[in-house]
Amino acid sequence: MSDQQPVKQHGDALENLYHEHRSFPPSAEFSAAAVAQPELYKEAAAEGPEFWAKQARQLLTWDEDFTQTLDWTDAPFAKWFVGGKLNASYNALDRHVEEGRGDRVAIYFEGEPGDTRTYTYAELTEEVKKAANAFESLGVSKGDRVAVYLPMIPEAVITMLACARIGAVHSVVFGGFSADALRSRIDDAEAKLVVTADGSYRRGKPSLLKPAVDESLLKDGHTVGHVVVVKRNGEPVGWTEGRDVWWDDVVSSASAEHTAVPHDSEHPLFILYTSGTTGKPKGILHTTGGYLTQTAFTHRATFDLKPESDVYWCTADIGWVTGHSYVTYAPLINGATQLMYEGTPDTPHQGRWWELVEKYKVSILYTAPTAIRTCMKWGRDIPGKFNLDSIRVLGSVGEPINPEAWMWYRTVIGANGGKKEIPAPIVDTWWQTETGAHMITPLPGVTATKPGSAQVAVPGISVDVVDEMGESVPDGSGGFLVVREPWPAMLRGIWGDPERFKETYWSRFDNMYFAGDGAKKDEDGDIWLLGRVDDVMNVSGHRLSTTEIESALVSHPSVAEAAVVGATDETTGEAVVAFVILRGSAKDDDDIVTTLRNHVGKEIGPIAKPRHILVVPELPKTRSGKIMRRLLKDVAEGREPGDSSTLADNTVMSQIAESLRK
C-alpha cells in the first residue's frame, strides 16, 4: 500500500488505514455453502442491467411483468422495471403465508423493560391488513403521505407496510428529532396522517413522543387530519378530540381482510429526510420495484442469508435508512426471522445486546462502528459472559470502521471471545440514504476481508474513485467516490425539488453520481472510505449538517454568529463542536453554553447538541464570506491551524487562539 496522503485531513484512526496490510480469506467450509459465489461478479459484468432484471424476477412476485429493465432517457431520473406492477407489502407478507411459510417467525420483539412479543408471518400479515384498513378508514389513500414518529416497536414495521400496501408514502421521522424538526418534515411532505406512540422506554425510564407531535401541530396551517397513537408506555398524553385516535381503537377493531392492490414499479414507496449541505433537509424519494430488488438481493448476498435457519438482527432504528432497507423491507421480502429490540445497549446492564444474542441465537448481526467502539470501551469481559457461538456473519454500517474496532468485533464477537477457531466474516457495507441499498461491501465466503475497508462494489454496481477532473484514479490513490451507472435502488429525486437533485448529485461530474465521500483505492484496487468531503457530519451514524446546527444556534437571541465542525471522536466517529460569537450582554452569562446546547436540542434533537461550544471573538472567513471550517476543525482537534492565507482577515486565527487560552 502506498503512503500517499488522503484527500483531506482526517483523524488518526483513519490515517492508520494507510498502514493496514492484514487480509482474512474466507474459510473453505463457509465458501462451499455460501449464498454468494465468485461467478456473480462475472455474470453481472457480462449482463449489465439484465442482471438486475433476473434478480427482480427471482426475488419478487410481480402482478404484471415489466417490459423494459431500465429507462435512462430522462437521466438522472431513472425508471427501473418499466411497466411492472407489484405490491411491496404482498411481497413481504402474504406470499410467504400463501407459500406455506405462515408459521415462520417474522419478528421476535424484545422491549427494553423485558416484555416480549413474537409475530409469525401469518400474524404479521393479519396486523398489517388491519392497519391498512384502519388507515383507509381515516381517509388515507394511494399517494397520500403518512408521517411516522414511532419508537422501535413492531407497530413501526406494521405501519410502514400498511402504507406500502395502500400505496401511501411513508415518511419516517426519527423519534429523537424535535417537534420543530417533525413539523418541517410534515409540512414539506404535506402529510395527512401522523402515526406515533405515547412514548417508549429509554435507559429504564419512559420517554415521550406524543407531546412533541402535539407541539408540532400547535400552529395552524398543517395538513394533518388524524394522529394515530400506539399505547406503549402508558404515560398520560394530551388529547385533541376528533384528531387523535388510539391505535388499539382503530386497528384492533379493523377487519383482517385486505387485498393488496398492485402498484406501478415506479410508484413512490417512501420519503426519508436526510441532512444536506444547506440547512433544509432533503426528502430522499424511493420507489418500489428497483428498491425492493436491490435491498432483497444485497440482504441475501451480503449477509449470506439462509432464511430457514438464520436469526438476523439489525440494531438500526427505523428512523434511519438502514432500518428501512434492512429491518422493514429486505428481511421480510426474503422471508427471514429477525430480532427487533426497543432499547439501549446498556439497559439494564452493559451486556444486554449479548444477552439477546444468546437468548435468540442470533446468527447475523448488523450494527454500526460507534456501537462497537462503545462496547470496546466497556470491555471484552462483558460480552465474554455470554455465549455468542451462534454468530456466523457480522455487518458494519454508517461510517468507516477503524481497524482496531474491526479486529475487536471479529475476535470478541465473531469468535465468541476467541473460543471459536474460525471467526465470523465481517462485511463493512458502504451505502447511503440516497443509494437505498448496499453499494460497496465484501461478500462473505468470496472476498478476503481487510480490516477497515468496504473493498468492492456489489455485483451489478459500478463505483469508482475519481480526481477533481472526474478521471478515474490509479490504484494506490485517493479522490472522490462516484457511481458510474444507474442502479435499481437509487433515489428517484428529492421530494418537490428536482433541481436540487440534479445540482447536489449530478453536477459535480458529468454523467456520474457524486456521493459526497472521499475514498481511496489501495494497491489491490480495494476501496477505502475516508468520510464526507462536504459539510455533513456523522455522529454515531447520524448525519447532521453543519449548516442546520449553525442556523439553530443563530436562531437564539444571544448568538451573533456560529460555525460548526465535526471533530474526530473515538466513540461517536465525529462530535459536534460549535464556535459562537455572542451578542453584547450574553458575554456575561455564565450559563450560556448550557443554554445554547439545550436550544440546539430543542430545535433539532438531542443528537445534534454540540459536545463543545467555544465562545470566540471572530470566525475565519474567506473573502466571499464562506466560513473556513477546515481551520476550526484543526482547533477543535487540537492541531496547529493549517494554511490560512485565503482568509479575509488573517489575524482571526490568532484572535481565536488567544480567546481560548483565557
**Which C-beta is closer to ligand 6R9: that of 162 or that of 397?**
397
Q: Does 522 bind ligand 6R9 (CB under 6 A)?
A: no
Q: How far apart are the C-alpha atoms of 600 and 220, rounded to whole Å?
A: 24
**From 178, 274, 287, 334, residue interacting with ligand 6R9 (rule: CB under 6 A):** 274
Q: What is the enclosing helix (H) or strand (E) of 163?
A: helix 154-166
Minimum distance from residue 540 beta carbon to ligand 6R9 (Å): 11
Is residue 554 a known part of a binding site? yes
**Which C-beta is closer to ligand 6R9: that of 214 or that of 526?**
526
Backbone angles phi, psi at 564, to 5 degrees: -120, 140
Q: Hey, what's the cell of 330?
A: 429486505
Q: Hey, what's the cell of 310?
A: 438464520
Long-range contacts of 93-98 (CB under 8 A, 24+ apart): 93/121, 93/124, 93/125, 93/128, 93/161, 93/332, 94/125, 94/260, 95/61, 96/121, 96/125, 96/335, 97/121, 97/122, 97/125
Q: Hey, what's the cell of 428?
A: 463493512
In sign, the C-alpha dihedral spanning 44, 45, 46, 47 is positive
Minimum distance from residue 429 beta carbon to ligand 6R9 (Å): 5
**From 112, 188, 428, 548, residue interacting with ligand 6R9 (rule: CB under 6 A):** 428
Q: How far apart are the C-alpha atoms of 435 and 294, rounded to whole Å?
A: 10
Q: Does 432 bind ligand 6R9 (CB under 6 A)?
A: yes
Minimum distance from residue 181 beta carbon to ligand 6R9 (Å): 15
Provide the angle, in degrees to the nearest 10, between the axes of the packed helices 50-59 and 289-303: 80
Stretches 144-152, 162-170, 301-309, 428-436: which one binds ligand 6R9 (CB under 6 A)?
A: 428-436
Q: How far apart are the C-alpha atoms of 34 and 37, rounded to whole Å?
A: 7
Kindly write out the interface string for residues 69-108 of this chain, putting x where it contacts ligand 6R9 by CB under 6 A and - elsewhere.
Answer: ----------------------------------------
**From 288, 293, 433, 540, residue interacting with ligand 6R9 (rule: CB under 6 A):** 433
**Which C-beta is closer to ligand 6R9: that of 93 or that of 530?**
530
Q: How far apart are the C-alpha atoms of 203 and 206, rounded to whole Å?
A: 8
Is residue 588 a known part of a binding site? no
**From 144, 214, 517, 550, residue interacting with ligand 6R9 (rule: CB under 6 A):** 517
Is residue 600 a known part of a binding site? no
Q: How far apart are the C-alpha atoms of 238 and 160, rounded to whole Å?
A: 25
The SS3 of residue 338 is strand
Minimum distance from residue 53 beta carbon to ligand 6R9 (Å): 25
Q: What is the enclosing helix (H) or strand (E) of 539?
A: strand 536-539
Is residue 165 a known part of a binding site? no
* The pairing of beta strand 393-397 with beta strand 364-367: parallel
Q: How far apart are the C-alpha atoms of 52 and 70, rounded to whole Å?
A: 10
Q: Does 528 bind ligand 6R9 (CB under 6 A)?
A: no
Is residue 524 a known part of a binding site? no
Kindly write out the interface string for residues 281-320 of this chain, putting x where it contacts ligand 6R9 by CB under 6 A and - elsewhere.
Answer: ---------------------------------------x
Q: Does 169 bind ligand 6R9 (CB under 6 A)?
A: no
Stretches 353-361, 382-390, 393-401, 650-658: which one binds ligand 6R9 (CB under 6 A)?
A: 393-401
Residue with cell 473515538: 570
Q: Does 573 bind ligand 6R9 (CB under 6 A)?
A: no
CA distances to 111, 149, 386, 387, 595 from 108, in Å: 10, 21, 19, 19, 41
Q: Hey, what's the cell of 203?
A: 435507559
Is residue 517 a known part of a binding site? yes
CB atoms within 10 A of CB 231: 15
**From 431, 480, 501, 509, residue interacting with ligand 6R9 (rule: CB under 6 A):** 431
**From 265, 374, 538, 568, residue interacting with ligand 6R9 (rule: CB under 6 A):** 538
Q: Tell whether omega for the bond before 617 is within 30 degrees of 0, i.e. cis.
A: no
Q: How far apart are the C-alpha atoms of 367 and 355, rounded to whole Å?
A: 16
Minimum distance from residue 584 beta carbon to ligand 6R9 (Å): 39
Q: Does 454 bind ligand 6R9 (CB under 6 A)?
A: yes
Is residue 185 a known part of a binding site? no
DSSP 337: E
Minimum distance from residue 270 beta carbon to ligand 6R9 (Å): 14
Q: Does 529 bind ligand 6R9 (CB under 6 A)?
A: yes
**Which C-beta is closer to ligand 6R9: that of 163 or that of 530?**
530
**From 167, 283, 323, 516, residue interacting with ligand 6R9 (rule: CB under 6 A):** 516
CB atoms within 10 A of CB 424: 25
**From 213, 311, 397, 426, residue interacting with ligand 6R9 (rule: CB under 6 A):** 397
**From 430, 480, 509, 514, residue interacting with ligand 6R9 (rule: CB under 6 A):** 430
> Which residues sit in the known binding site?
202-205, 322, 398-400, 428-433, 517, 532, 540, 543, 554, 556, 559
> Which residues sit in the known binding site for ATP?
398-400, 428-433, 517, 532, 543
> Which residues sit in the known binding site for CoA?
202-205, 322, 540
The residues of the shown chain that bind ligand 6R9, judged by CB under 6 A, are: 274, 320-322, 397-400, 428-433, 454, 515-517, 529, 532, 538, 543
